[in-house]
Amino acid sequence: MATVVLVGTLDTKGAEYAWLRDRVRELGCDVVLVDTGIGPSEVDADVSAEEVARAGGATLEALRDAGDRGAAVTAMGEGAAAVLAGLERVDAVLAVGGSGGSSIAARAVRDLPIGLPKLIVSTMASGGVTPYVGAKDVTMMYSVVDIAGVNRVSRLILGNAAAAAAGMAKAHVPAPSAEERPLVGASMFGVTTPAVDAARERLDELGYEVLVFHATGAGGRALEGLVESGLLAGVLDLTTTELADDLVGGVLSAGPERLTAAGRLGVPQVVAPGALDMVNFGPRETVPERFAGRNLYVHNPTVTLMRTTPDEMAELGRRVAAKLAAATGPTSLFIPLGGVSALDAPGLPFHDPKADEACFAAMEGAVETERLDVNINDPAFGRAMADRLHRMITEGSA
């Protein structure tokens, strides 16, 4: 029978969780109730708050005595994550709560595999949910009313949540078997699409299934997260543009950890400086005043691109080189001498060979490097990267 794990603060939401437990059971699933509250509860849990606190490296008595809500949320979140990792069977996770309960639940499900259903009903779900979702497939449902008793409104919402969790648990598909095609993650932007299309077609011919991630910040974080999950046989990181936003202050940064997961975990990776020639902003009027004199290109009404300078490109090259040099697995760098994006070619707005060469020179020598005298979107470039990645995966070296 499918198992739904309920994760919640039973000291403040005991009645709601008791109702959810009964409803999920009525829907034909087993239930494991995990208590992440630090106060007294009248609801019996399958995993007590004491056990959760110990799993998080604390004791319930110490958390109560300290009176530090933030520290308690952190400890119980870590403990819940450890508890979930140790359960014999988990087919779905369901949690309900306010900001604190949602934070605990978000930490609890963060390390669970992609594809395992994770649903959080939250008072925070109508605003920015990045702190709760991160780069994982967490589903957020807005509670509309506060999680404060089961009433005619909350009954509808919690009932839908219970039905969703039970349905997903029953339909949960296990991780792909070894017989299925190995997975490769690839990064793409509009200005590198032809290159990724060529690489994807070649990898498909070679027997891989390619997952493409749009390099918009969230896409880069999702790629890093999927590498962490262990599902990828290799990474074709052709579009590292999010590093430019992280350096200069654009709106599509994936954070400083971008381009690190594959190297840290030893996953074969082939990397290119795709779209490092640009930093992303919103509509033209939103570009910070300090960049008024820069080379700006209105990509569409909602996206304005800014050309990176030689100094910025040199620093990006150094950052890429440092990340790749630290890799523990097969790593190769491909450099397109004819430009790093569709806008970086003779006669086009971002063509700047001097800036590009500053980046390329800073990268030189970090890892095995292949320089091709073509624009990044030449089909030969993408195919060459695909062939190199295939060799690295099958032979275990660059």
Structural domain spans, the chain:
3-171, 183-395
Please name the amino acid found at residue 290.
R
Which pTM does this prediction carry? Answer: 0.75
- Residue 176 has a pLDDT of 55
Instruction: Judge if 3-171 and 183-395 fold alike in CATH terms.
Output: yes
- Residue 177 has a pLDDT of 54
Q: Given 3.40.50.410, 3.40.50.12030, 3.40.50.620, 3.40.1160.10, which CATH number is that of 183-395?
A: 3.40.50.12030
- Residue 114 has a pLDDT of 84
- Residue 180 has a pLDDT of 81
The continuous run of DSSP H or E covering 271 comes out as: strand 269-271
Q: Given 3.30.70.2500, 3.40.50.12020, 2.40.30.60, 2.60.40.10, which CATH number is that of 3-171?
A: 3.40.50.12020
- Residue 398 has a pLDDT of 55
Question: What span, in angstroms and rounded, lies between the C-alpha atoms of 13 and 286?
Answer: 43
The 3-state DSSP class for residue 233 equals strand
Please name the amino acid found at residue 331.
T
DSSP character at residue 344? S
Q: What is the DSSP string of 24-87?
A: HHHTT-EEEEEE--SS--SS--SB-HHHHHHHTTS-HHHHHHHT-HHHHHHHHHHHHHHHHHH-
**Cβ atoms of 166 and 250 closer than 8 Å:** no
- Residue 143 has a pLDDT of 92
- Residue 25 has a pLDDT of 97
Please name the amino acid found at residue 233.
A
As a whole number of Å, the end-to-end CA separation of the chain is 46
Q: What is the pLDDT along the chain (398 residues), one digit of tens a residue?
A: 999 999 999 999 999 999 999 999 999 999 999 999 999 998 999 999 999 999 999 999 999 999 999 999 999 999 999 999 999 999 999 999 999 999 999 999 998 988 899 999 999 998 888 888 887 889 999 999 888 888 889 999 999 999 999 999 999 876 555 568 999 999 999 999 999 999 999 999 999 999 999 999 999 999 998 998 888 999 999 999 999 999 999 999 999 999 999 999 999 999 999 999 999 999 999 999 999 999 999 999 999 999 999 999 999 999 999 999 999 999 999 999 999 999 999 999 999 999 999 999 999 899 999 999 999 999 999 999 999 999 999 987 55
- Radius of gyration over alpha carbons of the chain, in Å? 24
Contacts of 260 (CB under 8 A, 6+ apart): 224, 323, 326
**Cβ atoms of 262 and 393 closer than 8 Å:** no
Hey, how many other C-beta atoms are within 10 angstroms of the C-beta on 292? 8
**Cβ atoms of 214 and 221 closer than 8 Å:** no
Question: What span, in angstroms and rounded, lies between the C-alpha atoms of 390 and 381?
Answer: 14
- Residue 278 has a pLDDT of 98
- Residue 397 has a pLDDT of 59
Q: What is the DSSP string of 286-305?
A: GS-GGGTTS-EEEEETTEEE
